[in-house]
Amino acid sequence: MAETILRLEGIRKELELSRDVRQTIIPNLSLEIFKGEFVAITGPSGSGKSTLLYIMGGLDKPTFGRVWLDGQDITETGEAEMTEIRNEKIGFIYQFHFLLPEFNAVENVSLPMLIRRKYTRKEIRDRAMKLLDVVGLENKYTNKPNQLSGGQQQRVAIARALANEPKVLLGDEPTGNLDTKSADNVYQLFDRLNRELSQTVIVVTHDEDFANRAKRRIHLVDGMIASDSLMNHAAEA
């Protein structure tokens, strides 16, 4: 039986616009994501996709409802502990790469490991280089972000997100700023990580092509799940 990696139960998210006015982003949503899934979350702008992703990753708290990550209830976890859990169990990739401009590729990928302090400095450097090899940047170790293309910068960001062997890789429009070819490279990388390493991948995307190539697609409308379908890629295999 598939093992649940993320479970959301009765999630409601409200924003307080003023003292008397509250806006409901997600009215009531329950969802289970299994270990090793490759999930695309789609929906029109304002449908609650990014809010849902941030609740999954503990960057945002639901107004009501509960969230379990890797069997642990993280709903009411304090910020300090949540930061630790995120660094250990979640890899985040955003639309913008957020690489530190003064650091080269190896140093940027090393940062989460330096924070966690699980490895020696040599192990950290070796692992950072290995991860850059995995994302196809074996000849870009010493390049700083401004010496890399947009697609390469995003691949460094993916390597950094993988640094601490996360249970879940979360992407918020990770191909949103990329041209078609770079976006395709990033998709292929996610697909390979999912297939070869059984990496759980959850991506919010507007890119129809990307969404249709995931293994499962969850479509949101007004903060509710309009459809949740397993994609049939048997023909491609």
Whichever domain contains 210, its CATH number is 3.40.50.300
CA-to-CA distance for 219 and 223, rounded, in angstroms? 10
Tokens representing residue 155 in the block: 């691949």
Which residues lie across from 38 on neighbouring strands?
Answer: 201
CA-to-CA distance for 187 and 214, rounded, in angstroms? 9
The reported pLDDT for the residue numbered 10 is: 93
Whether 11 is covered by a domain: the verdict is no
Q: Is 202 helix (H, G, I), strand (E, B) or coil?
A: strand
Whether 107 is covered by a domain: the verdict is yes
Whether 168 is covered by a domain: the verdict is yes
State the pTM of this model.
Answer: 0.87
Question: Taking Cα atoms as reference points, which of 6, 55, 11, 1 lies closest to residue 200?
Answer: 6
The reported pLDDT for the residue numbered 235 is: 37
Residue found by looking up tokens 């070869």 in the block:
196
How many folded domains does the chain comprise? 1
What pLDDT digit, counting tens, does each position of 36-83 carry? Answer: 999 999 998 888 888 999 999 888 889 999 999 988 898 888 888 888
Whether 41 is covered by a domain: the verdict is yes
Q: Write down the mean pLDDT value for the chain.
A: 86
Question: Domain range spanning residue 198?
Answer: 35-65+76-230
DSSP labels, 42-66? E-STTSSHHHHHHHHTTSS--SEEE
Whether 206 is covered by a domain: the verdict is yes
Helix (H) or strand (E) segment spanning residue 228:
strand 224-230
Tokens representing residue 131 in the block: 């991860």
What pLDDT digit, counting tens, does each position of 97-141 carry? Answer: 788 889 999 999 998 888 877 778 888 888 899 889 888 888 888
Whether 118 is covered by a domain: the verdict is yes
Whether 217 is covered by a domain: the verdict is yes
Whether 12 is covered by a domain: the verdict is no
